């Protein structure tokens, strides 16, 4: 959360920074600001609200220069006002800072700095960083030291606790940008005579594909001559230059009205790419090449702990069904934000699994560290190559969904389900709980999945738009499912509430009669996941019970929107509306179930005039706890 872009080079600085911020706006959009250094010293412009407000301010009061930094904010400390918008300054206005993260000891530092005579004008934690640097620069100046800004930033960051990616410029040392990272991500872009810093790759990918990914404790100094990397002690360090292969166009809307819609329609490709090169239909084997764990490690494991947040937690909960069913290993699923506060029982025989699109969610990273501290090996299912969580994991399964820009996760979710399925089959093979024939049959079904998703997208978009016309004014929604379909009901409810602001709840269908039935009346739309795998006895049983639950809803005048397989003969008689998907094995049905729910949420949000890609109060990567 919060997007940062910095640039030093021959191009006009403001357009480079604004363009980068626009591509990073998914990280936060409560306010935006820019600081540029040039012949008139440092000039700042800031505005509350989205980036376009800042653009209006810049139109009225332009700035120009040879280097600069910009920020788009997701508010943590302090309301989203102009005053609290980044960049922030010290008392002299000569030191300017943008920051992503939280300074946990800011109150103690603020009191100390106030006692030294510093004056604060904002409610933010970031402002103390500018004053700390000012304080350090003042004492360094007294000793006549060289590299004053760099050294002062280094001393200042050593005093901070919490998480930060910060970028600093100073009027006294023009044409220099200093960046430091501890926690939230920061990448450095290496161009021809021009250098960039950003919170994430899409912010600078249009200018260069050659990047350094800063690690925790790294600092970078950018000048027109190049980039120097050090640690927080000032020791020179080397980081490999990584070349980013994905196409910047992947991070564009490509003719769709919203990123979310484009990403929903990209799901067949995301699933194909996540499967590609990982299965052999001849042997029925799954190959997970980034896995540093051996088959023996998998045989020895006595249980699996999964930790994740939000949509990734829903994938985790569906993954529990896959792993327990196929590999016969008990699985516990935790909200990552809760995991380390319950003193979990983890040990070297427990495998830790972290599921995260961004790979930088602070809670998930904290859960991973807790697992590792207790002796567990960890595996990350992640969509971002080289993200923090992947670096600390013993094994990685990348979901190849491509960049996900819409704040509401869609293609990353279905790619996570596929990665979990591959992992479950792999684990089951290692543990000998499924035969080669069973495994081959499952993998063959997996290869059919992208085509089935294409079919759903082709046939269901229109009906979902129609339903949105009828139900977009509802004030509440219920989503019901049983077994592996229950987490998908939760996901349907989350999608609807986050982008349309309609109150929605996901519930296990069988639990309705234990309380929530009291909510049902003729105004309540109830979305029921009633797909089934007819070849599977458990699936048929679950389906029959779900059918009874639908009757219970209609008997109380609730409006049922059912998701069912195309061949279903009973659902059309009991539900008010049916959204059809093709047949698939029970463990793969969730991938098909969720697509109508994504489209329904999307069309309802559009009809309600909501900001689909950037819903209020949210941000894409949650790098604070
Ligand atoms: C909802 C959504 C969030 C994320 C959650 C975890 O649409 O996107 O609930 O799933 O913030 O993020 P990652 O997967 O990046 O750890």
Query: What would the mean pLDDT of 581-593 be, rounded to a whole number?
Result: 97
Q: Which of 310, 318, 610 to mutate to test the pocket of ligand 1 (most atoms within 8 A of CB)?
A: 310
Ligand 1 centre distance from Cα of residue 296 (Å)? 32
Q: How far is CA 448 from the centre of its chain?
A: 28
Structure tokens at 608: 């309600």
What was the pLDDT predicted at 146? 65
| CA–CA distances in Å: residue 220 to residues 78, 164, 190, 238 | 28, 14, 12, 11
**pLDDT > 70: percent of the chain:** 98
Q: Which of 26, 27, 309, 383 to mutate to test the pocket of ligand 1 (most atoms within 8 A of CB)?
A: 309
In this predicted structure, the answer to whether residue 393 has a pLDDT above a threshold of 70 is yes
Q: From the alpha carbon of 416, which atom of ligand 1 is closest?
A: 14
- CA nearest ligand 1 atom 3, residue: 310
Rg, Å, the chain Cα set: 26
CB distance 174 to 149 below 8 Å: no
In this predicted model, what pLDDT tens digit does every residue of 170-183 receive, in sequence order?
999 999 999 999 98
Q: CA–CA separation, 17 vs 31, rounded Å?
A: 15
Q: What is the pLDDT of residue 184?
A: 86
CA of 311 to the centre of ligand 1 (A): 5
In degrees and rounded to multiples of 5, residue 229 shows phi and psi of -115, 140
Which atom of ligand 1 is nearest the CA belonging to 412? 14
Q: Does the annotation mark 382 as catalytic?
A: no
What whole-number distance in Å separates Cα of residue 463 and Cα of residue 53? 37
Residue with CA nearest ligand 1 atom 16: 356
Q: Which residue has the higher pLDDT, 51 or 249?
A: 51
Distance 537 CA to ligand 1 centre (A): 34
User: Which atom of ligand 1 is the closest one to the Cα of 308?
Assistant: 16
Please pick, among 2, 170, 309, 610, the residue that the annotation labels catalytic.
2
DSSP letters of 121-148? -SS-STHHHHHHHHHHHHHHHHTT-SSH
217 DSSP 8-state letter: T
Nearest CA to ligand 1 atom 6: 309
What confidence score (pLDDT) does residue 248 get?
67
For residue 310, the CA-to-ligand 1 centroid distance in Å is 5
Rounded to the nearest integer, the mean pLDDT of the chain is 93
From atom 5 of ligand 1, which residue's Cα is the shortest distance away?
310
Query: 3-state DSSP helix/strand/coil percent for the chain, to nearest 5?
Result: 40, 25, 35
* Helices 436-471 and 411-431, axial angle in degrees (round to 10): 160
Considering only CA atoms, which of 542, 427, 535, 567 is closest in space to residue 488?
542
Banded pLDDT at 472 (limits 50, 70, 90):
very high
* pLDDT above 70 (res 250): no
Q: How far is CA 447 from CA 140, 149, 252, 331, 415, in A?
A: 63, 56, 28, 26, 13
How far is it, in rounded angstroms, from Cα 380 to Cα 313?
Answer: 13
What are the start-end ranges of the H helices in 209-339? 259-265, 267-275, 295-300, 310-327, 336-339
Spell out which residues line ligand 1, taking CB within 6 angstroms: 309-312, 356-358, 361, 364, 408-409, 494, 498, 621-622
CA distance 477 to 559: 10
Q: What is the DSSP letter of 291?
A: B
pLDDT at 244 (0 to 100): 83
Answer for the pair 394, 286: CB distance below 8 angstroms, yes or no.
no
295-315 confidence digits (pLDDT tens): 888 888 999 999 999 999 999
pLDDT exceeds cutoff 70 at 249: no
Backbone angles phi, psi at 616, to 5 degrees: -60, 150
Element of type H or E holding 303: strand 303-308
Closest C-alpha residue for ligand 1 atom 11: 310
Cβ(482)–Cβ(546) below 8 Å: yes
Half-sphere exposure of 368 (CA within 13 A, CB side): 27
- Determine the Cα–Cα distance for residues 609 and 458; give it in Å rounded to an integer: 24
**Which residue ranges form the domains of the chain, and what is each CATH number?**
3-244 (3.60.20.10), 251-434 (3.40.50.10490), 448-614 (3.40.50.10490)
Q: Would you say 199 and 186 are in contact if contact means Cβ atoms under 8 Å apart?
A: yes
pLDDT of residue 255: 81
State residue 566's pLDDT score.
Answer: 94
Sheet-wide strand order for 377-382? 331-335, 303-308, 350-356, 377-382, 395-398
Of residues 238 and 252, the one with the higher pLDDT is 238
Instruction: Average the pLDDT over 39-54 and give the result.
Output: 94
pLDDT tens for 83-93 read: 999 999 999 99
Residue 142's pLDDT is what? Answer: 79
Measured CA to CA, the distance from residue 422 to residue 428 in angstroms comes to 10
Per-residue pLDDT at 543 exceeds 70: yes
Distance from Cα 380 to the centre of ligand 1, integer Å: 15
Rounded to the nearest angstrom, the distance between the alpha carbon of 279 and the centre of ligand 1 is: 28
Q: Which residues are 233's β-sheet partners? A: none
Q: How far is the CA of 366 from the centre of ligand 1 (A)?
A: 15
So what's the pLDDT on residue 277?
A: 87
Output the residue whose Cα is nearest ligand 1's atom 10: 311
Rounded to whole angstroms, how far apart are CA atoms 301 and 329? 8
> Cα–Cα distance between 403 and 361 in angstroms, integer?
16
CB 565 within 8 A of CB 425: no
The answer to whether 461 and 436 have CB atoms below 8 angstroms apart is no
Q: For 99-128, what is the mean pLDDT?
A: 93
Nearest CA to ligand 1 atom 9: 310
CB-based contact 612:597 (threshold 8 Å): no
From residue 116, alpha-carbon distances to 93, 134, 532, 595, 622 in Å are: 17, 11, 69, 58, 34
Regarding pTM above 0.85, the answer is no
Per-residue tokens: 346: 């983890």
Q: 598 CB contacts (<8 Å, ≥6 apart)?
A: 260, 264, 410, 495
The owner of tokens 């939760």 is 490
**CA 250, CA 262: separation in Å to the nearest integer?**
10
Q: Which sign does the torsion angle of CA 286, 292, 296, 298 carry?
A: negative
Distance from the alpha carbon of residue 355 to the mean position of ligand 1, in angstroms: 10
| Atom of ligand 1 at shortest range from CA of 407 | 8
Pocket test for ligand 1, best of 357, 496, 504 (most atoms within 8 A of CB): 357
Ligand 1: atom nearest CA of 358 is 15
Residue minimizing CA distance to atom 7 of ligand 1: 408
- Cβ within 8 Å of residue 467, ≥6 positions away: 561, 577, 579, 600, 603
Closest atom of ligand 1 to CA, residue 410:
7
Tell me the H-state helices in 501-588. Answer: 537-555, 571-574
> Of ligand 1's atoms, which has the minimum distance to the CA of residue 310?
9
Q: Quick one: pLDDT at residue 625?
A: 72
From 73-77, 117-121, 275-279, 537-541, the region with the lowest mean pLDDT:
73-77
Contact 418, 399 (CB under 8 A): yes
Nearest ligand 1 atom, CA 313: 10
Residue found under tokens 């389900």:
417
Q: 465: part of which helix (H) or strand (E)?
A: helix 436-471
Counting Cα atoms < 13 Å in the Cβ hemisphere of 24 gives: 33
Exactly one of 110, 262, 452, 620 is catalytic; which is it? 620
CA of 383 to the centre of ligand 1 (A): 11
361 Cα nearest atom in ligand 1: 16
Mean pLDDT of 269-294: 89
Q: Which of 26, 312, 388, 506 to mutate to test the pocket of ligand 1 (most atoms within 8 A of CB)?
A: 312
- Mutational pocket test of ligand 1: of 315, 333, 622, the residue with most ligand atoms within 8 Å of the beta carbon: 622
Residue 585 has pLDDT above 70, yes or no: yes
Place of tokens 């971002």: 384
Q: How far is the CA of 615 from the centre of ligand 1 (A)?
A: 13
CA distance 335 to 493: 17
Q: What angle do CA 533, 536, 538 make, to 5 degrees?
A: 105
Q: What is the mean pLDDT of residues 340-346?
A: 88
What local confidence, expressed as pLDDT, does residue 563 receive? 98
Active site residue 452: no
Residue 55's pLDDT is 96
3-class state of residue 503 by DSSP: strand
Query: What is the helix (H) or strand (E) element at residue 598, kind and residue range?
Result: helix 589-607
- Phi/psi of residue 192, nearest 5 degrees: -90, 100
Q: Is the previous residue joined to 87 through a cis bond, with omega within 30 degrees of 0?
A: yes
- pLDDT tens-place string over residues 430-446: 999 999 999 999 999 99
Question: Across-strand partners of 332?
Answer: 305
- The CA 402 to ligand 1 mean position distance, Å, reads 15
pLDDT in tens, 120-139: 999 899 999 999 999 999 98
């Amino acid at each position: 959360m919060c997007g940062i872009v910095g640039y030093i080079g021959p191009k006009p600085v403001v357009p480079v920074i604004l363009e980068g911020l626009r591509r990073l706006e998914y990280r936060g959009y409560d306010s935006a600001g820019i600081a540029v250094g040039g012949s008139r010293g440092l000039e700042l412009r800031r505005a509350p609200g989205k980036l376009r407000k800042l653009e209006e301010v810049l139109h009225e009061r332009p700035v120009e220069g040879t280097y600069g930094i910009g920020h788009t904010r997701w508010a943590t400390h302090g309301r989203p006002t102009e005053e609290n918008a980044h960049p922030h300054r010290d008392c002299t206005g000569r030191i300017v800072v943008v920051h992503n993260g939280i300074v946990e000891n800011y109150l103690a530092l603020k009191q100390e700095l106030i006692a030294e005579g510093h004056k604060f004008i904002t409610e933010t934690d970031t402002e103390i960083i500018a004053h700390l640097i000012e304080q350090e620069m003042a004492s360094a100046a007294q000793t006549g030291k060289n590299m004053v800004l760099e050294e002062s930033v280094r001393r200042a960051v050593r005093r901070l606790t919490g998480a930060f990616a910060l970028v600093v410029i100073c009027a006294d040392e023009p044409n220099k940008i200093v960046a430091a990272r501890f926690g939230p991500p920061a990448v450095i872009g290496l161009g021809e005579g021009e250098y960039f810093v950003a919170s994430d790759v899409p912010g600078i990918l249009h200018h260069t594909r050659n990047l350094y990914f800063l690690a925790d404790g790294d600092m970078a100094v950018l000048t027109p001559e190049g980039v120097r990397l050090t640690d927080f002690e000032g020791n020179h360090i080397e980081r490999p230059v990584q070349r980013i292969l994905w196409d910047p166009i992947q991070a564009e809307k490509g003719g769709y009205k919203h990123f979310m819609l484009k990403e929903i329609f990209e799901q067949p490709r995301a699933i194909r790419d996540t499967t590609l090169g990982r299965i052999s239909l001849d042997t029925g084997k799954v190959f997970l090449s980034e896995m540093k764990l051996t088959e023996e490690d998998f045989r020895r494991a006595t249980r699996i702990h999964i930790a994740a947040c939000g949509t990734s937690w829903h994938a985790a909960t569906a993954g529990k069904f896959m792993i327990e069913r196929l590999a016969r290993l008990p699985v516990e699923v935790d909200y990552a934000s809760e995991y380390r506060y319950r003193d979990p029982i983890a040990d070297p025989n427990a495998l830790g699994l972290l599921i995260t699109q961004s790979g930088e969610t602070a809670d998930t990273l904290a859960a991973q560290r807790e697992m590792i501290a207790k002796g567990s090996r960890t595996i990350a299912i992640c969509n971002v190559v080289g993200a923090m969580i992947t670096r600390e994991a013993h094994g990685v399964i990348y979901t190849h969904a491509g960049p996900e820009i819409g704040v509401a996760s869609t293609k990353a979710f279905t790619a996570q389900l596929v990665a979990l399925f591959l992992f479950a089959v792999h684990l089951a093979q290692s543990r000998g709980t499924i035969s080669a024939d069973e495994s081959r049959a499952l993998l063959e079904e997996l290869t059919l999945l992208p085509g089935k998703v294409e079919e759903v997208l082709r046939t269901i978009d229109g009906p979902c738009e129609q339903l949105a016309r009828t139900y977009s004014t509802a004030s509440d929604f219920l989503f019901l499912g049983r077994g592996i379909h229950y987490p998908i009901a939760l996901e349907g409810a989350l999608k609807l509430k986050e982008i349309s602001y309609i109150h929605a709840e996901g519930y296990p269908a069988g639990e309705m009669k234990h309380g929530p039935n009291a909510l049902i009346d003729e105004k309540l739309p109830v979305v029921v996941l009633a797909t089934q795998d007819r070849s599977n006895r458990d699936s048929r049983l679950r389906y029959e019970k779900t059918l009874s639950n639908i009757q219970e809803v209609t008997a109380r005048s609730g409006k049922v929107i059912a998701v069912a397989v195309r061949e279903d003969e009973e659902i059309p008689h009991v539900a008010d509306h049916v959204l059809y998907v093709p047949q698939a094995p029970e463990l793969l049905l969730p991938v098909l179930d969720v697509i109508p729910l994504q489209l329904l949420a999307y069309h309802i949000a559009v009809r309600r005039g909501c900001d689909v890609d950037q819903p209020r109060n949210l941000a894409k990567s949650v790098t604070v706890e």
